[in-house]
Amino acid sequence: MQSMIIANGEVKDEIILRGAAALRAGAMAADVAEQVARDVEDDADDHSVGFSGKPNILGQVECDACFMVGATRKAGAVAALRGFRHPISVARQVMQRTPHVLLAGEGAMRFAAEIGAERRNMLSIEARALWHGRLREIGLTDAQIHDLECGHPPADVIGLANAAMNWRDGTDTMNVMVRDTAGRLCVAVTTSGISWKYPGRVGDSPIVGAGLYADDRFGAAACMGLGEVTIRLGTSLKLVSLMQGGLSMNEAGRIVTREMAEMLAPSGSTRTHVDWVRIIAIDRAGTPAAFATSQGRFIKVQGADDLEPRLIEAEYVPA
């Protein structure tokens, strides 16, 4: 059976190639998906995931991650996790060590500490500078920024976050979908979420059915972009359910993407947030696909026979 790695276009080739080598050597989809996600979490050039992710409005890097196995439909997730190097591994351990699916905030951090997950200051010098830059752009003085850093935010943090979030800074997410030679599917999603978000904001990435879904019998899907849309629509599960109902992956992908585009279109999403969503998908035969509500969005696909990842443009589906 053809093994396959599908990831966002932003994921570096060397990370995907390392995963592909492990797959060729017989590694299971779940182990490869976790490894690829961990490598991206360590990538300081990626400001939307793990270390060096852009922080929330108070300067805290809050990470969401989820891990889902298609054979069992078991999943584990963490939300608003701070101070741990590999949110995806904590998410996998939630699946393996607890009867729960999602741990959030203080509980997620307690759990991570209890299992001995590696701690890390996730705010890089570069991400901190980007945060300061954005605060200055919206009119904060150096003294006000200093107060924020010292844990003395203004009373109106809602206003501050709403002013700071904008569609250009947006949100990326690391989605990786792996199919191994036994046909097992695993999806790993990890992100620091929307830049300059309100503290405690949780996106779609740790929400099974919204940010991701995997079922070996039918296929898998995972989303990136504005999580508030895919949470409201249950996008990933809907795509897989439409395939379960007999639609092809392309038919299902176009339906759910159009639905998201329609939700985004009337208001222009207020333009305070990123205003696009992209889905990656795979069907049970191992065929990859991608759909997006805006043009110029890419994914990378690495099949067993490919020498290097292929860059594929997501099909643009307007409202």
By annotation, the residues acting in catalysis are: 173
Q: Which of 124, 166, 171, 241 binds ligand GLY (CB under 6 A)?
A: 171
What the block records as the tokens of 304 is 């067993």
Q: Build a one-symbol-per-residue string for 276-295: x at contacts with ligand GLY by CB under 6 A, - elsewhere.
A: --------------------
Q: Build a one-symbol-per-residue string for 89-118: x at contacts with ligand GLY by CB under 6 A, - elsewhere.
A: ------------------------------
**Candidates 7-15, 108-116, 160-168, 199-207; binding stretch for ligand GLY (CB under 6 A):** 199-207
Output DSSP code: residue 181: T
- Residues from 220 through 259 that contact ligand GLY (CB under 6 A): 224-227
From the CB of 116, what's the least distance to ligand GLY, in Å? 27
Asked whether the beta carbons of 176 and 5 are under 8 A apart, the reply is: yes
Our finding on whether 173 is near ligand GLY (CB under 6 A) is yes
Helices of type H across the chain: 13-24, 29-42, 87-97, 105-114, 125-137, 142-149, 157-164, 227-233, 235-244, 249-264
Our finding on whether 193 is near ligand GLY (CB under 6 A) is yes
Residue 38 or 54 with smaller CB distance to ligand GLY:
54
Provide φ and ψ at 228, rounded to 5°.
-60, -25
For helices 13-24 and 29-42, angle between their N-to-C axes, nearest 10 degrees: 160
Beta bridge partners of residue 215, listed in sequence order = 219
